[in-house]
Structure formats: structure tokens, C-alpha cells
Structure 1
Amino acid sequence: MSHTKRHVSRPLPGPDWVVQDVRSYDYWRRGADDCAACGVDVALDESHYGMELLRHRPARAEGKLGLERERFVFCSRECVDAWSH
């Protein structure tokens, strides 16, 4: 019996997240991740796109603001554009 992987794209984060950077990579690190838009396996040591999102976290007791980061991986610029809109 054949099993197919059913992919649902990762949801857009809430409005408190800001896109910090979108760029193409020839190498980011070893390993693989799923494209956030279409779900294909993306080798992170080959050509792909990465998107970094940031959001401010509530002030800590000592009064410092923190940042939370999230990274999304895409197989192509078309997937970046489709997911972003």
C-alpha cells in the first residue's frame, strides 16, 4: 500500500511577527526541512530560500525586551511569494 505525504502549508504567523530577512542560500547548514509553502524536502546545504521573522517578547522582570525568532524554509522564490501573500 502506498502512502503519500499530505502537506498543509505552515500558517502565516500573527500580526506581531515582522519579516526581518528573506534571502537565497547556497548553504545554510547540513540537514533538511520542509518547504513552508509546498512541503517538499529542502536540502539546507543546497540552493534554497530562508525567511527570518522576529517579534518582541514582553518585558522581563529586569525591564529588558526580548526577541523571539522563527525561521521558515522555502524551495523557491515562487513559494516565498505564494506563502507571503
Structure 2
Amino acid sequence: MRLDKFLKISRIIKRRPVAKDIANQGRIKINGKVAKSSTNVNVDDQIAIEFGNKTLTVRVNQILETTKKAEAENTYTILSEDYKHDYRMKK
């Protein structure tokens, strides 16, 4: 399954065009390699997504063509959520 579609189906990113834009900006890595929106996602892949000040890393548990909201969380496991801190703001 394409990366942008997986991100939408899993509800990590709510809209597919947004997932496509983020991927094509080089802000998503699959297994440590920069991925485009058309990159194939497989079970057990690790996906790292850079959102502004946060990097979310998940492992793909299953690939489904469609999901209900309650089932979406079963498609992945969160491995880490790393936050970048802006030390200039602390005084």
C-alpha cells in the first residue's frame, strides 16, 4: 500500500493530500530512508514522521484497505514520540 494511503487509513494523518505533501517534503522516513508518498509500506516497517516540533515513530502492524475509526489504532504501534525543544525561549 502507498505511504500516503496508509497514513490516511491509519488516521495518523487525517487527509491524504496532507500526507502526500509531508512525504514529498522529505519529512517521512521508512526504515531510516527518506520516503515519497508513493513508497510501498509493508508490515513491520518503521515509519518516522516529522511534525513541526515532534517526531512520531510507529511500526506497521497490519495493512487494511479500509478501517473504521475504532480499528485504525490497530494498524500501527507507537514506538516513540520525540519532542524538539526551543532552548532560546527559556530564560
- TM-score using structure 1 length: 0.25
Higher strand share: 1
Quick one: higher RCO (CA 8 Å, sep 6+), 1 or 2? 1
- TM-score using structure 2 length: 0.24
Question: Could you say which structure has the larger radius of gyration?
Answer: 1
Higher helix share: 2
